[in-house]
Chain A
Amino acid sequence: MSAAIKGPSLTLKAREAISGWLFVSPILTGFMIFFVGPLIAVFYYSTTEWNLLSQQSHFVGIENYVDALTRNDTFWDVLVNSLVFAAGLVPLNMLLALGLALALSRSVRGAVFFRTVFFAPVITSAVAWAIIWTFLLQHESGAVNRALSVIGINGPNWLHEPHWAMASVIFTRVLKTVGLNMILYIAALQSIPRDYTEAARLEGANGWEIFRRITWPLLAPTTLVIMVITVVGSLKVFDHIYLMTGGGPQNATLVLAFYIYEQGFKFFNTGYASALAVILFVLILALTILQTILKAARK
């Protein structure tokens, strides 16, 4: 009788596990080096007083956090600015995205053209977008004020008056980013079976009732995702502020990400800037966790 053929020394499960780890190892290595590493470094730097120029560093514990949260009034102003920016941008962006999606999700003439028009700013350079709007919103020579003057309105100095600067930045940011949310809503709307709305029509529901009782509840998962990415994106806003207002006038548009940049790279308070970055990270993490909880609650 011949001897039984010897199989591989490792089990199938073990061999599959090794293959799996080999496949993910490149991205995992990159993730550890370029994401987890800097994250840990920022946490560490936030517990030091470190000047980037002098390269002098010493451990101060939670001093930077205490400083930001209790002694520095600017931090709270900045946080309020960030929240105002988010509170202005998120509802406006989502409402506009939903409205555009409802109008452009149907296969009507011109829908594809207008979808492209509203999505184009998303793929446009943020720098170009901000610079163009900076010109358009010029006080005397800007196209916006010239257009307003035609109908007898004397437009304000949009980017240099504290009240209007924040509104202007929010508005231009909404126009820049609304296309992405519109596409997400269009995808969600098109995935709702036509049978639902037809069944509702047969049962006597009008357009508003179909939206309120059928479409809107079925869009809830998409709305939740859009809300979180828009809130997170609005809290991280930097480029628009940097290019259009530089945080001014009178710190009216000084938001957290820009404040971190100023502290870290203008004033070289690297430790303090790191603490602010950690606070921003925790804020965003809390929102992400909130999303998970809300999703779980829905189920």
Chain B
Amino acid sequence: MAKLQLKELRKSYGTVDVIKGVDLTIEDGEFCVFVGPSGCGKSTLLRMIAGLEDITGGTFEINGSRMNDIAPAKRGVALVFQSYALYPHLSVYENIAFGLKVRKTSASEIKTRVGDAVTMLQLEKLTERYPRELSGGQRQRVAIGRAIVGQPQTFLFDEPLSNLDAELRVHMRTQISELHQRLERTMIYVTHDQVEAMTLADKIVLLRDGRIEQVGSPHDLYERPQNLFAAQFMGAPKMNIFTLTGAFETLQESLKLDRNAHYCGIRPGSFEIAQDEKGIFSARVKLKEYLGNSCLIHADVEGHDPIILEQPVNTDIAKDSLIFLNANPRHVHLFASDGNRIQ
């Protein structure tokens, strides 16, 4: 059992603040994903939880016990590194057994635990191989095996799938999800890939510049982004944001939007192309991208404001044609002038 609490957690390197006061609770057994752009501090935060980075300020607790000065090995956490960090001179079996050996676990116990992990991860035929003889996916499984055998209360994953190809990434993603369901342990997963975040997480923590922008379920973050950053970060292609002045001033009237709204956001898939030239605004098509099951249409409003629409694949639109667009007000997200959501 492991409930993690981060209270006003801070990290600085000299005068540079990297984590600027993070408050977060991760419940026991929860799958929590830290997501955000490069340099937002998500890996640093994970390493602070692991004990690999000192905590400059604030408190980190596991089950109510302060962990700031507790050695990494005594926190009950296991970390799966982005590079896998498999010891190149040790075989798969020795890699998985390493932690148990240094903890002076009995030989029979090592054999049992490594055997169980190897079976669970379907590594039976690879135990005598060395890391250099394994594929990316196999290395990843060994790294997970090494984490499992220590029976930690919390698993930490630092962008574990970023070195794999697209197909393998999907496969390993489902494996990690299954592992979470089977082990029922707290897991914290760092990624910059929002698809991984959306598919794996019970709770997503969206970070920017060392601060939390939003915490919530994948549904919350997608359907109710709390600010412009969250709105544009979650979802691909990203949400179209319109400033309700100038060319888009009329949207307030036509969509009957809240008077306090300064920005409105409409996801690419929430537009409809009007057939009768009666839309909330018009745009000229610049490019159409074929995606197989849909198509993306890049267009300009009044020659300068670019927007993206996602439409059915059979949408018949020529380049440079003028299209008229409609949107359901229920799918329009409103933000005040400070960028925060209007409820």
Contact = CB atoms under 8 A, between A and B. Distances in A.
Given A217-B89, A218-B88, A218-B89, A200 B102 contact: yes
A213 B72 contact: no
Contacts of A217: 89
Given A202-B73, A202-B77, A204-B73, A195 B85 contact: yes
Contacts of B51: 202
B222 interface: no
Contacts of B81: 195, 198-199
B240 interface: no
Nearest to A210: B102
B48 to A, nearest CB: 13
B9 interface: no
Interface string B203-239: 0000000000000000000000000000000000000
Q: How large is the interface on A (under 10, 10 to 19, 20 to 34, 35 or more residues)?
A: 10 to 19
A196 B85 contact: yes
17 contacts: A193-B83, A195-B83, A196-B85, A196-B87, A198-B72, A198-B85, A199-B81, A199-B85, A199-B87, A200-B98, A201-B71, A201-B72, A202-B52, A202-B79, A203-B78, A204-B73, A204-B103
* Secondary structure class of chain A's binding surface, majority of residues: helix
Contacts, number: 57
Contacts of A218: 88-89
Interface of A: 193, 195-196, 198-205, 209, 213-214, 217-218, 220
Contacts of B52: 198, 201-202
Contacts of A193: 83, 85
Nearest to A212: B102
A213 B103 CA distance: 13
A213 B85 contact: no
B22 to A, nearest CB: 21
Given A209-B102, A213-B102, A201 B85 contact: no
A199 B85 CA distance: 7
A213 B98 contact: yes
Contacts of B78: 202-203
Contacts of B99: 202-205
Interface string B71-96: 11100011101010101110000000
B50 interface: yes
A258 to B, nearest CB: 41
B77 to A, nearest CB: 7
B36 interface: no
A183 to B, nearest CB: 23
